[in-house]
Amino acid sequence: MASTKMILDLDTGVDDALALALAICDPRVDLIGVIASYGNTLVETSAQNTLNLLHLLGENDVPVYLGESHSSTTDHFDVMPISKAIHGEHGVGNLSLATATRKIEQTSGIQFLIDMAHKYQDELIYVPTGPLTNMAKALKIDPEISHLIGNTTLMGGALTVPGNVTPFTEANINQDPEAADLVFTTQENLTMVGLDVTLRTLLTKKDTQQWRELGTQAGTAYADLMDFYIEAYDRLDIDHRGAALHDPLAVAVAIDPSYVVTIPLNMRVTYDKDTKDYGRTIGDRERLLEPTTTNVAVSVNAKRFVRDFMDFMIAVLKA
C-alpha cells in the first residue's frame, strides 16, 4: 500500500520523463497529480508530454494540471536553444509519442497544490524538478502551505560545485531566481537535490540497452529518449561518460532520503541582476542562528541509486 502522497511539478523534458516513470513504478508512492511547468519546453507542451508519457506507461488516471507559463518577473517565456539541444525541439528527444486523448485538468496547478496541501498535510511530498514559480505563487496566495506540506524535495541549485548556466547558477534556479528565493526563505521541510549530487549519477547506453531488450513499446521509447539525452551530453561536452539522472534522483530522495548525505543549512537565492552571482543558491546569512528548515544534499550513494533506479525502470517498462 502506497504510503506517500506525491505531486510532481515537471517541465517535461527527458529527465522529467524518467522522474515520472520512477514515481509511477515505486509501490511506496501514490502519485496524486502532476503540475506542468515551463523550462525545458513551453508549459502547454510540458503538460501534453506528461499526458503522452502517462498514456505510454498505461497510467491514464493521474491528473495533469497547468502551472505558470513564465517566471514571476517576466510576461513571456522562450525556450533556450541549449534546452532544445539537450531535450529536443519539444522536450522528449524528438520522439513521436502517441497523443493522449485525455485533457488537461481545468483546475489550475497552483490551486491543486494548495488544496492538496490542506487535504494531506504531513502525508504530502511535493517534488518540483523545474523552476520554482508554481510553488512561489502558491505561497503568495496561501502562506499557510509553507508549514503544511510534509516535505518539498526540489531538483535545483548548486552549493559545492559550479552551476551549469553560469559559474554560480543552476538551470532550474536560473529560470526564476526571485521565486526560488521566496521558496528557500519561506518553505519549511525543504530538501535541495542539486548538481552537487545529481552530476554523480550517470546512465549510459549500456543501461538503456537493457530497456530496449525488453521488447516493449515503452522500453524502446524510453531507450530512444535517454539515448538522445546521452548523445546530447556527449555532443555538447557536458559529460562523455553518460548523462546525469537529475530529476529521478530528486524523486528517489523524496521517497528514501538515505540515498544522500545532507547538511542542514538555511538557504537563499541571489537575484540582483547587476551582480555576477545572480541565481546563486547559498547559505542565508540572516538566518544562520534560526532553526534550520532546509537540508542540502552534498553526497550521494550513486551506485545504489542507479542500481535501484534501473530495477524500478525495468519493472515499469516491461509491463
Closest Cα partner for 7 from 181, 254, 194?
254
Give percent helix, percent strand, percent coil of the chain, each to the nearest 5.
Answer: 45, 20, 40
Coil vs helix vs strand at 83: helix
Where b means 16+ CB within 10 Å and e means fewer, 170-187 reads bbbbbbbbebbbbbbbbb
> In the chain, where do the E strands start and end?
4-10, 29-36, 64-66, 124-128, 151-155, 190-193, 202-203, 243-244, 260-264, 267-269, 281-283, 294-300
Strand (E) or helix (H) holding 222: helix 217-235
Cβ neighbors of 134 (< 8 A, separation 6 or more) are: 9, 35, 37, 67, 68, 109, 110, 113, 128
Using only C-alpha atoms, the chain has a radius of gyration, in whole angstroms, of: 18
User: Is 246 marked active-site?
Assistant: yes
List, by residue number, the catalytic residues. 246
